Amino acid sequence: MTSTTHDLTHDTSFAALGVDEELVELLSHDGIVAPFPIQEMTIPDVLAGRDVCGRAKTGSGKTLAFGLPIIQRLTPARPKRPRALVLVPTRELANQVAGVLHPLAKSGGFSLVAVYGGVSMKRQIDRLDKGSEIVIATPGRLIDLMDRKKVRLDDVSMVSIDEADQMADMGFLPQVRRIMREVPVAHQTMLFSATLDGQVGALIREYMDDPVEHAVDDPTERIETMEHRFLKVHHMDKVKIAAAITASAGRTLVFVRTRFACDRVARDLRDHGVEAKAIHGDLHQSKREKALAGFSAGTTPVLVATNVAARGLHIDNVDIVLHYDPPEDPKTYLHRSGRTARAGESGLVVTLVEWDQVNEVIAIQRRAGLNVPIVKMFSNDERLADLTSWEPPPDMAPFDGDARRRPGSPRRRRR
């Protein structure tokens, strides 16, 4: 497998990458004029028909990296026989990918359909019957449709597996393998993931033919553009502190560990005057979509989510990620935190640490390469109104020296 890493210094255009003029114009109308690094690296190889692995974090522009070449190389589909397949881990991501690619596909006279569980199959089946060229699917619903003979993969010539590491984390790889067995041997595969080792590496070896690997960033350097704050809080004061923090931002994404806590925290925040909605797996799909749409539009400033519900969410301009419940491990910390500081922008990540969670959080910091003081704070503290410009005292850092300090840990005062 050929491997390259982007140095983030190139300046090019979509046209120079080989993207058709009509697609370039559509992108330009939406204010998209320069490709992100992952797009610059992968699009020429995908257009050339090569299998491609792209390693980049969420928010790096992966949808257009595979979507533009797929649309450009499409041919008309027969009923129930799509020409391209995009596999995603969640229904939210399926809708988001469809939203990005629909106007581009329509410009070429092609159609697409997003298929996922939690909603009626009828509309999805009707779209397949009419001959959708692109199917964007979660694995479980796609297999259900395959078993019912409502879709066949015999004509699929391009497959993109998006957020493959999340597929692995959520236990979907057996379903992905079942689907890939139904795809013709002569097809092109694209795989995008935050990591390319472990189970994802096995998937690459099994289903990809001499792929070229492109990496935008080192997996250990995903916290560079984030400011990190760790607040030691009392359980009885926790909701008031969260409400004070969210009041200082346009959009705040709050993470909790359980579905029950998701509903409870959203309700408690509303009781404290914060317009907050919950999103988790037990909610009906229409409620999930409504909550996500309100948060994306800015009409709902606070979204409370579980880890699973938030996987794959692509939401721009998240000002603060608030770990209401500390994450269970460094990987979860990075994944949650990556909802802010997207595409090189800055962002604030705040973790609320109860008295009996301090040692657990220090262990996560050590393994994540952080060295940030855990500072006691109460809900009447004026610093909560602007945690970005406040820096905790360096001499309170949990580890001696600066060896564990990562870029992005407190070191400068913003004006």
Q: CB–CB of 330/356 below 8 Å?
A: no
Instruction: Please say whether the beta carbons of 59 and 38 come within 8 A.
Output: no
Helix and strand totals (H; E) in the chain: 15, 15
pLDDT recorded at residue 8: 46
- At 317 the pLDDT is 79
pLDDT above 70: residue 6? no
| 87-120 pLDDT, tens digit each | 999 888 898 899 999 999 999 999 999 999 988 8
Please answer whether residues 145 and 169 qualify as being in contact, where contact means their C-beta atoms are separated by less than 8 angstroms. no
- Give Cβ neighbours of residue 414 (< 8 Å, ≥ 6 apart): 227, 388, 389
**Per-residue confidence at 400, pLDDT binned at 50, 70, 90?**
confident
Q: Is the pLDDT of residue 213 over 50?
A: yes
pLDDT digits (tens, 9 = 90+) for 341-382: 554 556 899 999 999 999 999 999 998 889 999 999 999 999
Q: Name the DSSP letter for residue 78.
A: B
Most confident segment among 4-8, 11-15, 68-72: 68-72
Q: Which residues pair with 161 in a beta bridge?
A: 87, 191
> What value does the mean pLDDT of the chain take?
87
- Asked if pLDDT for residue 297 goes beyond 90, the answer is no
pTM of the model: 0.70
Domains of the chain: 2-215 (3.40.50.300), 226-396 (3.40.50.300)
Beta strands in 104-249 (DSSP E): 112-115, 134-137, 158-161, 188-193, 212-215, 226-233
Q: How far is 213 from 311, CA to CA, in rounded Å?
A: 23
Check residues 13 and 60 and name the one with the higher pLDDT: 13
Task: For 319-345, write each residue's pLDDT tens digit.
Answer: 899 999 998 888 788 878 877 755 455
Name the band, by pLDDT with cuts 50, 70 and 90, for residue 404: very low
What is the predicted pLDDT for the residue at 387?
A: 92
pLDDT band at 221 (very low <50, low <70, confident <90, very high): very low
In angstroms, what is the C-alpha Rg of the chain? Answer: 22
Instruction: Flag whether pLDDT at 402 surpasses 60.
Output: no
| Location of structure tokens 């983030």 | 8
Q: Which pLDDT band holds residue 411 (cuts at 50, 70, 90)?
A: very low
263-292 pLDDT per residue, tens = 999 999 999 999 999 988 777 777 888 888
The tens digit of pLDDT for each residue in 53-78 reads 998 776 678 999 999 999 999 999 99
Average pLDDT value for residue range 17-32: 92
- Least confident span in 85-89, 235-239, 391-395: 391-395
Q: What percent of the chain has pLDDT over 70?
A: 87
Does position 385 have pLDDT exceeding 60, yes or no? Answer: yes
